[in-house]
Amino acid sequence: MTFDLPEELQDIKRVARDFAEEEILPTVDADDKAHRFRRDLVEKMGELGFLGCVIPEEYGGNGLGYLALTILVEEIARVHSSLRIIFAANTLGPAITIWRYGSEELKQKYLPGLTSGALVGCFAMTEPDAGSDVAAMKARATLEGDFYILNGSKMWISLAPVADIALVYAYTDPTRRAKGMSAFIVDMKSDGVVVESIKEKLGNWASPVGSITFENCRVPKGNLLGQEGQGFAICMQQLDNTRLASAAGAVGVAQACIDAAVAYATTREQFGQPIGKFQMIQDWVAQMVTETEAARLLTYRAAYLKDKGVPNTLETSMAKLFASETANKCADYALRIHSAYGYSEEYAVARFFRDAKYYQIVEGTSNIHKIIISQDALGYRKANRSS
């Protein structure tokens, strides 16, 4: 067992940190307040190979793996949580799913664009009445000749307002429940696709979110991923991957909170000394640093297991749960350390506080992950049951 990052991954970390601090940081506050999605930055990330870690070279990727991707996500989220969402919505959503389950035609058509940043993808599973209970979705896809006719609504879809394609889950045989669900790639410019932006949300302001309505949308038969009825299994596998990106993003936010808290505590003076000299502040900082390092190690372990091809649903849930809760704890402590300044928009901790809450909700709420972990421990339902 070794905890040292290989030199190649250390180089990736340095490149990502330099990019985040030189390209994202100078305009991060302005972009966030303007709710501005920076497609130009996504393209630059694509040029640097950030979006191709889990895609082979023949389709525009670099095959560096999940741990490399995790490091990239952490460094981007450390500066701007909104921008890291591209890794989940695009790379670990449609890109890797097309690579695993799509036809050669779909791979050639979409993967080079998704890995270069020329195309932006999203995935659509959540519906107004189907969140944690994915199998409760009502979207339907009916085969008619060479096309599936897609009808239904999706809600809270990250990047939907700017996406070029979507990975969409819908029932092809609702009588079979989860075994009747299928997965499709849908061109967002197709007739019958209506997107509405959700403009008012608590955080991650520079990452657009929207609802999608499909009204007799014609999806080519060749855009089916895998086989009919395989959609639920594909969906669960995809969530195992996007949850890793959420865990890594939460680690990045937690680290940003530590950086901000330490910088403030060592310069802000009260009662004739820096507030960092007070034991209550030191207690908070100690908790933040220790729990963030624990979250990082849990997340890196999950990524390592993915690179090995070992079943890792349990480890990924542990990472996602702990990292999400840690990010929120760190954001709370960082804001308290900044006191009134933290409650204002003058310092970045207000943004960290808003953005951190997101991680307790997406890719399975913290309660969902507690269920996965506890049922595995109790023997009711093994998380890594394919092992």
Catalytic sites, residue numbers: 363
Q: Which amino acid is at 145?
A: G
Torsion sign (Cα): 33, 36, 40, 41: positive
Q: Helix (H, G, I), strand (E, B), or coil: what is residue 241?
A: helix
Q: Helix (H, G, I), strand (E, B), or coil: what is residue 272?
A: coil
Q: Helix (H, G, I), strand (E, B), or coil: what is residue 243?
A: helix
Q: How far apart are the first and last CA of the chain?
A: 21
What distance lies between CA 133 and its chain's CA centroid? 19
Q: Tell which residue, 206, 122, 219, 209, has the closest CA to residue 163.
A: 122
Specify whether the CB–CB gap between 211 and 195 falls below 8 A.
Answer: yes
Residue 282 CA to residue 266 CA, distance in Å, equals 11
User: Which residues make Cβ contacts (< 8 Å) with residue 16, sequence separation at least 6?
Assistant: 50, 71, 72, 75, 76
Burial of 16: CB neighbours in 10 Å, binned 0-12, 13-18, 19+:
buried
